[in-house]
Structure 1
Amino acid sequence: MKRQEVVAEIFLILAEFYKYPTEDFYNNIINGDVDKQLAELFKAVNYELETPQFSFWVRDFKGLRAEYSSSFLGITAPFAVPVESAYKVWTNDTSFQIPIANSKGYVMGDSALHIMHLFEHFQLQIPEEYAQMPDHLTILLELYGFIIKERSLQQCKVFLKDHFDWLGDFEEVLKKVDKSKFYIYVVDVLKKVIREEKKYLEKL
């Protein structure tokens, strides 16, 4: 596979972690397939990363779903919604004279509008379940998987810079959630992947 295809596969696998867990994906985690596949892909693109240990951190299937719900869905407070807009000022447009304009914690902000614009520009369709949160982490990761294969490396650089700079804040909120160790580990791996991809692009 070309490098772009390998990187796309890495990002698509990571995107699965931010979807509600299916039994098939759980089985792929618990039996070590995801760890092995990512380790091989990391090696193929020279990411300086250790073999992931998702199989070590995962709980039973019911427990994983419970952890996902408490971590991301707001079943209990606190929770860490995996949506970019929630961690950034809602809009930088000074013409908006509404109370939330300069506040954080709201969805469908500037970053969401930009993702909607990109989907329209690339003639792609946002899945219906993400229509009200187009900058959900799953969508961002899947979109990068498209951009790395279909667009210029400069566009890749810009996308990584503009749309993954909030992961540190997301991680800090997630650490406040009880029983979120698995997903804290997931975001830690994701941050390292983003770092390695940026490092590669900066050399070009």
Structure 2
Amino acid sequence: MNNTCPSPQALQDLLRLFAEFFAFPDEDFCEAVRGGSVDLQVKELSQRAGVPIESELEKDALSYEEWVTSYNRCFLGVQKPFAPPIESIYKPWTTDESFQVPFKNQKGYLMGDSAQHVQHILKSFGLEIPQEYTMMPDHLVILLELLAFLVGSGFEKEAKQLCQDHFDWLPDLQKAIEELPANGRIFIAALRELEDILQAFMSHARNHRLLKETIDYSNF
């Protein structure tokens, strides 16, 4: 049990570290995973954040060239099927009965309800979406960056709500990657550790407050 005061900055850094796994591969980051330094970072940051886990990402690390191939195959659709890390894909496009489109209750489409909600939250905080994510504001990279922002800015209540609303699809993403005829083990390993961190954060948030400053999330 970690008896030190949890550090929001450490959790923010930890979430941003995991976002790296779902952005287009960076050679230095890939080498850091292969060399074990990312595992050490995860262990240290998670302890300081009050959500301690043991990290074994080095076991499934790939060379940079292999990582790019795996990323393209798993997430970018160079072949089908593929498993983009975008929330809307794994949820019904909308539950709003006023929409008169044939695919409103179907999965597999971009810019669904979840994307619209995340887009609204980002605008509420004056946060901009990078150009490459314009049509997918609920990409896992953006969700983790938004969660990191909320945690780092002291909005623990809102961070907890974001977890409840926008991270429940991660098991579906993991299953989709597992079913691909590709080596997606590094992404599966990262998802498993990320889920452990999020669950620990949610459990901690139910009983403690990292900071007192909050805003009314219901306005979003």
Q: TM-score band (shorter)?
A: over 0.9
Measured against aligned partners, the alpha-carbon deviations of 1:35-77 in whole angstroms (never above 9, x if no partner) come to 1111101111232421x12222112111111111111111112
In the alignment, does 2:46 pair up with 1:45?
no
In the alignment, does 2:214 pair up with 1:184?
no
Range with greater deviation from structure 2 (175-184 or 90-99) = 175-184
Please report how far the alpha carbon of residue 28 of structure 1 lies from its aligned counterpart in structure 2 after TM superposition: 1.5
Range with greater deviation from structure 2 (135-144 or 69-78) = 69-78
Aligned residue in 1 for 2:94: 91
Identity value in percent? 35
In the alignment, does 2:125 pair up with 1:122?
yes
Please report how far the alpha carbon of residue 32 of structure 1 lies from its aligned counterpart in structure 2 after TM superposition: 1.4
> What amino acid is the match of 1:82?
P
Aligned residue in 1 for 2:162: 159
Q: Is the 8 A contact 2:133 2:139 kept in 1?
A: yes
Alignment of 1:5-16 (within 5 A): 5-16=9-20
In the alignment, the residues of structure 1 paired with residue 155 and residue 122 of structure 2 have an alpha-carbon distance, to the nearest angstrom, of 16
In the alignment, the residues of structure 1 paired with residue 122 and residue 200 of structure 2 have an alpha-carbon distance, to the nearest angstrom, of 25
1:73 is aligned, of 50, 73, 76, to 76
Please report how far the alpha carbon of residue 151 of structure 1 lies from its aligned counterpart in structure 2 after TM superposition: 4.3
In the alignment, does 2:27 pair up with 1:23?
yes
Range with greater deviation from structure 2 (31-40 or 150-159) = 150-159
3-state SS of the aligned residue for 1:77? coil
Q: Is the 8 A contact 2:7 2:50 kept in 1?
A: no
3-state SS of the aligned residue for 1:59? coil
In the alignment, the residues of structure 2 paired with residue 145 and residue 152 of structure 1 have an alpha-carbon distance, to the nearest angstrom, of 10
Unaligned runs of at least 5 residues, structure 2: 209-220
Aligned residue in 1 for 2:213: none
> What amino acid is the match of 1:146?
F
Q: Is the 8 A contact 1:144 1:159 kept in 2?
A: yes
1:55 is aligned, of 55, 58, 61, to 58
1:4 is aligned, of 8, 27, 31, to 8
In the alignment, does 2:172 pair up with 1:169?
yes
Please report how far the alpha carbon of residue 5 of structure 1 lies from its aligned counterpart in structure 2 after TM superposition: 0.8
Please report how far the alpha carbon of residue 159 of structure 1 lies from its aligned counterpart in structure 2 after TM superposition: 0.6
In the alignment, the residues of structure 2 paired with residue 110 and residue 128 of structure 1 have an alpha-carbon distance, to the nearest angstrom, of 20
Please report how far the alpha carbon of residue 110 of structure 1 lies from its aligned counterpart in structure 2 after TM superposition: 0.7
Q: Is the 8 A contact 1:71 1:180 kept in 2?
A: yes
For normalisation by structure 2, the TM-score amounts to: 0.88
Measured against aligned partners, the alpha-carbon deviations of 1:95-125 in whole angstroms (never above 9, x if no partner) come to 0010111111111001111111111110111
In the alignment, the residues of structure 2 paired with residue 131 and residue 154 of structure 1 have an alpha-carbon distance, to the nearest angstrom, of 27
In the alignment, does 2:40 pair up with 1:36?
yes
Aligned residue in 2 for 1:113: 116
In the alignment, the residues of structure 2 paired with residue 114 and residue 67 of structure 1 have an alpha-carbon distance, to the nearest angstrom, of 30
The aligned length equals: 203
